[in-house]
């Protein structure tokens, strides 16, 4: 019995993999235990270090920072998806005056580091006379430009990976290119690229932490502020742990939502297996529009 990529392991190979897995697990547990012990010896788990996080006002501030993080993420995620779709369609256009600018736009903003992009928007644009840029605007604009460019490549690759017969059949029944894209290509590509899209949304969520550079009041900004309070022993490590727990929790919630959406789509796909093909659906839409 063989798998797609390599021969199935035999009894000796399975035993060897088991020992290697156990050794790797012990190594990871040992490193984590060493870090925890060092934190304990340096007093990072004492009540004095964590006292600041027992105050209701501090807890309220952290909740507000979490809300600010989610607000920036939600806005940037929606705008990034919209920009990604527009740029992907633009790159696939037959008109050079549309595809060439979209190509260079994607290549430019994919190459610029997100942190530098936020700093340029927040600190650089006001020097050019563009006023009224808030930290929220800088964070959302930076996330949108960068992740929109990345998602554009995701959508483009997903659309171009579909069989050419799908496009040709749509054109053959009289659909315009926009109709082929809307009714045939894009629905299939979005389903195929859903795992990549979700992973990029997780990246957007985590990248909101870069907003502390432009003084955006998000989780990491508040963690840095509370961790620098000398009157409470400068609890840098406890503040970092609190911020990490919040980010991990938000990412797990997003992953759970993604799993649910993926399960629903796969379920609807199974139900539609006996239904009409995408081209047949598009033909129906074309007839109804006429």
- The pTM of this model reads 0.77
Q: What is the mean pLDDT of residues 189-217?
A: 86
Spatial neighbors of 104 by CB under 8 A, at least 6 apart, are: none
Structure tokens at 167: 């496009």
Nearest to 185 by CA among 147, 151, 157, 150: 157
Spatial neighbors of 97 by CB under 8 A, at least 6 apart, are: none
- pLDDT for 217-264, tens place per residue? 899 999 988 888 888 888 888 898 899 999 999 988 988 887 887 777
Q: Which CATH class is domain 47-267?
A: mainly alpha
Does 160 or 24 have the greater pLDDT score?
Answer: 24
Residue-level pLDDT at 289: 46
Q: What is the mean pLDDT of residues 75-101?
A: 88
User: What whole-number distance in Å separates Cα of residue 216 and Cα of residue 139?
Assistant: 8
With tokens 């399975």, the residue in question is: 14
Does 290 or 154 have the greater pLDDT score?
Answer: 154
């Amino acid at each position: 019995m063989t798998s797609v990529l390599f021969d199935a392991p035999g009894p000796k190979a399975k035993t060897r993999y088991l020992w290697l897995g156990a050794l790797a697990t012990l190594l990871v547990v040992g490193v984590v235990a060493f870090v925890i012990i060092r934190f304990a010896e340096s007093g990072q788990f004492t009540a004095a270090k964590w006292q600041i996080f027992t105050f209701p006002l501090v807890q309220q501030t952290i909740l507000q920072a979490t809300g600010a993080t989610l607000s920036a993420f939600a806005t940037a995620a929606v705008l990034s998806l919209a920009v990604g779709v527009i740029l992907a369609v633009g790159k696939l256009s037959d008109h050079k005056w549309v595809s060439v600018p979209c190509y260079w736009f994607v290549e430019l903003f994919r190459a610029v580091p997100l942190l530098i992009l936020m700093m340029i928007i927040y600190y650089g644009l006001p020097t050019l006379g563009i006023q009224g840029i808030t930290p929220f605007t800088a964070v959302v604009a930076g996330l949108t430009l960068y992740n929109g460019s990345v998602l554009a490549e995701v959508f483009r690759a997903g659309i171009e990976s579909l069989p050419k017969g799908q496009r040709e059949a749509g054109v053959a029944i009289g659909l315009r290119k926009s109709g082929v894209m809307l009714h045939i290509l894009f629905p299939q590509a979005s389903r195929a690229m859903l795992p990549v899209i979700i992973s990029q949304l997780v990246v957007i969520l985590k990248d909101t932490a870069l907003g502390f550079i432009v003084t955006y009041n998000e989780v990491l900004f508040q963690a840095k502020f509370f961790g620098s309070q000398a009157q409470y022993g400068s609890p840098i490590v406890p503040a970092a742990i609190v911020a990490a727990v919040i980010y991990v929790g938000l990412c797990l919630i997003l992953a759970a939502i993604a799993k649910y959406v993926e399960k629903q789509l796969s379920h609807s796909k199974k139900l539609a297996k006996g239904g009409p093909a995408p081209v047949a659906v598009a033909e129906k839409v074309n007839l109804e529009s006429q």
